[in-house]
């Protein structure tokens, strides 16, 4: 849709253009405002998202946006058209259709390379991680209890999963070497999401760092070496 939709306020004007038709309020989830903001903040290129904000929230024309960026009106039209296509992708569109709250309850579907990895023997099977004084042995226990697996293995809600992946936390062992304070520094990861992560880890006899591991470069080096060695051995 090429013309500027001024019939409805933001974000319904954007949603109508993404759908390509009139969308009634009752068709939208109750948390649609938060859902649109979440998608624009976390799942779109920063420039494209801001152009959509200028277009639909600030009601600027293509010509006005073009002048702001020093681009042609035709180029702005192309960017908006492409952004509409991106927002129609199922990974983003489901937030418009179902809302963040419902999507957050979904579990990611595992691909063949994300299934649980066979694990080495647990050096301290009857001890909680925090009770293992030797940090290297604690790392070995993390690997044995599922640390070799990708974080998809934990079955986290989509919001928690996305927060970790965007921060390059890809494996369970990496997550276990982070403290609660470190996780709360991740964008969009709040106390509620932190509690969910802790509960998932606790159920597997795992846990977050209590402050003795993550800040230690030697521990990270040891964990990376163990992960590489175990992954290469196929265990």
What confidence score (pLDDT) does residue 228 get? 83
CATH topology of domain 12-103: Arc Repressor Mutant, subunit A (1.10.10)
112-233: CATH topology is: DNA polymerase; domain 1 (1.10.150)
Segment 71-80, tens digit of pLDDT: 999 999 999 9
Please name every residue paired with 150 in a beta bridge, in sequence order, or none if there are none. Answer: 171
Task: Please identify which residue in the block is written with the tokens 């929230």.
Answer: 57
Tokens of 54: 């200028």
136, 142 contact by CB (below 8 A) = no
Cβ proximity of 18 and 88 under 8 Å: yes
Neighbours of 112 (CB within 10 A): 5
Q: The tokens of 117 are what?
A: 């990895």
Reported as a single tens digit per residue, the pLDDT across 21-75 is: 999 999 999 999 988 988 888 788 889 999 999 999 999 999 999 999 999 999 9
Tokens of 183: 């996780």
What is the residue extent of each domain of the chain? 12-103, 112-233
């Amino acid at each position: 849709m090429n013309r500027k939709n001024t019939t409805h306020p933001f974000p319904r004007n954007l949603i109508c253009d993404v759908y390509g038709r009139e969308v009634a309020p009752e068709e939208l989830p109750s948390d649609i405002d938060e859902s649109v903001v979440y998608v624009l903040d976390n799942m779109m290129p920063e420039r494209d998202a801001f152009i959509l904000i200028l277009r639909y929230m600030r009601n600027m024309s293509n010509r006005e946006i073009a002048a702001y960026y020093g681009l042609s009106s035709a180029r702005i039209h192309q960017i908006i058209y492409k952004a509409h296509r991106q927002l129609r992708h199922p990974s983003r569109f489901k937030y418009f259709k179902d809302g963040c709250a419902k999507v957050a309850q979904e579990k990611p579907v595992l691909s063949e390379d994300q299934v649980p990895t066979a694990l080495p023997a647990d050096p301290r099977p009857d001890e909680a991680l925090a009770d293992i004084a030797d940090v290297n042995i604690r790392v070995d226990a993390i690997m044995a209890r599922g640390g070799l697996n990708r974080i998809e293995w934990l079955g986290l809600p989509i919001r928690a999963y996305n927060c970790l992946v965007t921060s390059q936390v890809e494996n369970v062992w990496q997550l276990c070497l982070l403290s609660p304070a470190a996780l709360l520094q991740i964008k969009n990861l709040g106390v509620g999401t932190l509690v969910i992560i802790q509960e998932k880890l606790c159920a597997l006899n795992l846990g977050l760092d209590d402050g003795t591991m993550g800040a230690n470069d030697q521990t990270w080096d040891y964990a990376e070496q163990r992960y590489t060695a175990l992954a290469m051995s196929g265990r």
